[in-house]
Structure 1
Amino acid sequence: MSEPGEVIDAEADNAGRARFVQVFLAQRARMEALVSRRIGCRATASDLVQDLFLRFWRRPEVKVEALDTYLLRSAGNLAIDYLRSEGSRDRATEGLHGNDDEPGTQAPEQALEVAHDLQRIESALRALPERTRQIFLLNRIHGCTYGEIARAMQLSQSAVEKHMMRALEACKASIAESASPLRRPGSARR
């Protein structure tokens, strides 16, 4: 037999989920239109909004006053994330295949060197203090401004700038350490 507190919690959870579904369905068309405008594809927008529903459904209820506004903002952010990931994928594919106008300009050795550089940068970022790494990722991966990061982390903008300089210097140093007289930027080994 269940305890009275468990019954109340289950009822509250069911009520929260029902409210979420109601608000989500009411905002779905607006979310799809917003995402479609940003990414330029209605079918993908519909898929992304469905993914957004599943993300919210699987996690504990989010306590926000204006759930409709929160969902719209989340949909907008999801569109931005999608565009970033597509852009990254396109740049990576373009980098691996080289310039189509100049066949064979991207040697396999260069692709390997780029992969090693990325590994060194990743290692340098892991070695940074947690706060510095977090600030770097918020800015470079999530697109937050220094002001937004400063407010969120309760720091001055100057402190955020110093953390970013430290992170960027670590990234540059990780690549510079691997540079040798034989390997100069833009020149492939022959």
Structure 2
Amino acid sequence: MADKGKDLAALYLSERKRLERQIDRKVGCRSTASDLVQDIFLRLWEKAVEWKGDSAAYLSRCARNAAIDHLRAEKTREAYLQGELPEPFSEPPLSPHEILAAEQNIRHIDEVLASLPEKTRHIFLLNRVHGRSFSEIAGVMGISSRAVAKHMARAVAALDLSATGVNNVD
């Protein structure tokens, strides 16, 4: 490993200025170019790469890629600071009225589901909440897929009727 360290140090001393100039031309900042060259050699040290072939060409490619990555990161950073990138949850916060309405809707749905027969409610929850198919539910509950479809139709109809304001669930 000592030979690799000496080889890398010699390579750094011989190539550093050339790589800094190459990167500086792309990014326009001597300090950034110096940092990127140090990062390149740090990565080489961590990988303990054995050089086969032209190390100058390999380092030039590394410098080019480091400059491109830096410019992309800067562009993304600038766009974010200027608000060009969408924020993950960019919708405005809900008003207290909207929160209250949503809570009331959830309570109403819970009431409608509670009023359904237990088997129908169970089938509905298996399908809509847990994502089970009709055939999977039929297999677990020991009924036909057609019976599952009927229970689902009953549950969906009850929810639809409650949404329209009709409170007749049977």
TM class, shorter-chain normalised?
0.3 to 0.5
Relative to the length of structure 2, the TM-score reads 0.48
Q: Which has the larger radius of gyration?
A: 2
Relative to the length of structure 1, the TM-score reads 0.43
